Chain A
Amino acid sequence: MARCYKGIPASPGIAIAVARVLDSCDTPESSVLLACADTPELEWQRFSEALESSRKDLESVRDTILSELGQLKAEIFEAHISLLKDPELKAEVHRLIFDQGFAAQLAVRDAIAGFIDLLSQVDDEMFTARIDDLRDLSKRLTAHLEGYAGKSDELIGASIIVANDLTPSETVQLDRSLVMGFVTACGSAVSHSSILARSLGIPAIVGAAEAVALIQDGDLLVLDGGTGKLLINPQTDELVAYQNKLAEYKTSQAALAEWAGKPSLSADGQNLELAANIGGISDLMAVEKYGADGIGLFRTEFMYMDRPMLPDESEQYQVYKHVLERMNPKPVVIRTLDIGGDKQLDALPMKAEANPFLGVRALRLCLAREDIFRTQLRALLRASVHGRLRIMFPMVAVLEELRAAKAILAEEKLTLCKAGIPVADTIEIGVMIEIPAAALCADILAAECDFFSIGSNDLTQYTMAADRMNPELAHLNQASHPAVLRLVAMAAAAARRHGIWTGVCGEMAADPVCAALLVGMGVTELSMGAASIPLIRKKLAGISIETAVHQAELAQGLESAQAVRTMMTGVDT
């Protein structure tokens, strides 16, 4: 009879193999250690030797990782090496050996346990994850002190490792030709072993204490690291289902991973730009991983949220500079502050409005509060020399707003230039097309800006007059409706006539059906959550511009969003 358990999904992928249960090495009782302590001088000598051996181990693990996984992953072991040199750790061990008469093992264990206690009180996942580092170190030092370091359990065939816990160094030392996955009783999705498992591509489930206690060596396991589901000795039908799933998963992953590194081209070779939407610096790793051609939307409002004070110019400058430098020479579209509607700031209480989505938000607010706007523009202008900056204004309804924003930008630029502060010569200025008025008069706006980016989420809700936060109106909020498509086509056509480019930075860009239509309407840049890029890139590579243009024309003449989807997918969805 199969038993099914659930743990924390730590690293996606499916593994089917026999269980190999790792024995935990039980450490001797404290009393035994206390009794067998030698003279403090000898114990201190043993501790120093264990430190030295541990350092050598770690340096060799670090070098392996450095060559296989790169600098970033090797950092974990750099951190362990630093911990070995820690003066406070040495001081505490010294105190326990000389003042308390502890054996080196006990001194190490108690000293590190004390630091772990202190770290546990820090209320921050980033820091509490470091507790793993200390545990790893404690294990390693103890192993050297007791002379059993370096002996690992031999694997006979393909296995799923089952352990109480795996330290980061144990994780990287797993024989990857034989280890299909691992399950541990402890750990969280952000513990080092989980992070390493993800970068090594080993499926893993952590925090599955109940299952780990039950699994016997040699049990057949099915592990789904994406859902956290674990089957012990599954029945034949379940096993077959998972074997199929495993085969599918392998094919799709291999196919998509390949697309992260490819150029963005249509089937007939037209260059497209598949960019990423980001909310801050922490999203940049995914941007790099999925091979974005640039940043198509940097939502700067997150920098302003959940804090008592607005970010000042130098703070903003540092953030923009970092993003621009890291993306250079790829372009970065930074949208000026877009708050109001569903996004409110602690630092800037706003008057309650009857219809906040139709109220003083985004550029409207910035033009009313020039001080806030000018601070952001100065930071942007100063950062512009560090990469390829594109500035985008959100919620433009009429030409006067664009002109007002551009005039303020020009004033700030002049002031900076007079003060001798360098500013890039060319900064593209764009308008976000998210109000039907802007789409309808796009030709007028196009004459005075360098690009359009269609905010499809807002454009849809304003076109349909249907609040997108209201779940009862979800059926109206369909970006693929011909009404929205016609507005997009109108804006893109106006842009083309004026020699400027059009992008899309809403959900629409990541929808494989819409992406093809957008390209057919003349959109050349699509910006989305970075993880969607490989899929969309693959989709667009299969469509020629001619076909896309034809489909886009047909779609605009259809009667409903449903009809558009049916035409594009060939099935009645």
Chain B
Amino acid sequence: MKSKKITIINPTGFHTRPARHFVDTANDNFPDTDVRIIKGEKTINGKSVIHMLTLGVKYQEEIELVVEGGPEEEALEALGRYFETIYKE
């Protein structure tokens, strides 16, 4: 298991589009990896768009990305990048 703490820098938070791309990448590129996202006391399934949205990640909030199984190092790097980007609205 590997994990990483990330602060959201996108001014409008982490909303539908990046969430969807994140989930698609998690499902398509890392089928054997269990992906979880922790914010405060909530832990959610990083392979579910609905779960991602219920987390409501906003600007300046800190989340923890946890990956388990499969190519963990790669998954952490590839998936972490989605949280560290500024998106075109």
Contact = CB atoms under 8 A, between A and B. Distances in A.
Partners in one complex: yes
Interface residues of B, number: 27
Interface stretch (A153-161, A235-243, A278-286, A290-298): A278-286
Contacts of A322: 86, 88
Given A82-B20, A124-B13, A119 B45 contact: no
Interface in A97-155: 115, 118-119, 121-124, 126-127, 130, 133-134
Contacts of B41: none
Candidate in A123, A281, A326 with the most chain B CB atoms within 10 angstroms: A281
Interface string B1-39: 000000001011101110010011001000000000000
Nearest to A322: B86
A86 B50 contact: yes
Given A124-B56, A281-B86, A284-B89, A82 B15 contact: no
Nearest to A123: B56
A307 interface: yes
Interface residues of A, number: 33
A78 to B, nearest CB: 7
Interface in B34-89: 45, 47-51, 53-56, 58, 60, 85-86, 88-89
Contacts of B51: 88
Nearest to B45: A88
Contacts of B11: 280-282, 319
B49 A79 contact: yes
A87 B56 contact: no
A79 B19 CA distance: 9
Given A119-B53, A122-B53, A130-B16, A326 B48 contact: no
A82 B49 contact: yes
A127 B88 CA distance: 17
Contacts of B16: 75, 79, 126, 130, 133
Contacts, number: 79
B89 A281 contact: yes
A117 to B, nearest CB: 9
Given A85-B27, A86-B50, A284-B89, A318 B9 contact: yes
A191 to B, nearest CB: 13
A83 B53 CA distance: 11
Interface residues of chain A: helix, strand, loop or mixed (majority): helix
B33 to A, nearest CB: 13
A284 B27 contact: no
Contacts of A133: 16
Contacts of B56: 122-124, 127
Contacts of B60: 307
A322 B9 CA distance: 12
Interface in A161-203: none
Contacts of B12: 126, 282
B48 A88 contact: yes
A315 interface: yes
Candidate in B20, B54, B88 with the most chain A CB atoms within 10 angstroms: B54
A285 B56 CA distance: 23
Contact of B17 (A75, A86, A118, A121): A75
A87 B89 contact: no
Given A88-B45, A126-B12, A315-B9, A79 B50 contact: no
Nearest to A118: B54
Contacts of B86: 281, 318-319, 322
Nearest to B55: A122
B49 A326 contact: no
Interface of A: 75, 78-79, 82-83, 85-89, 115, 118-119, 121-124, 126-127, 130, 133-134, 280-282, 284-285, 307, 315, 318-319, 322, 326
Given A88-B51, A115-B54, 5 more contacts: A79-B17, A86-B23, A87-B27, A119-B54, A122-B53
22 contacts: A79-B16, A79-B20, A82-B23, A83-B50, A85-B27, A86-B49, A88-B45, A88-B48, A88-B51, A89-B48, A115-B54, A119-B50, A121-B54, A122-B54, A122-B56, A130-B16, A130-B53, A134-B50, A282-B11, A284-B88, A319-B86, A326-B88
6 smallest CB-CB distances across A and B, nearest first, come from A122-B56, A88-B48, A118-B54, A82-B20, A126-B15, A322-B86
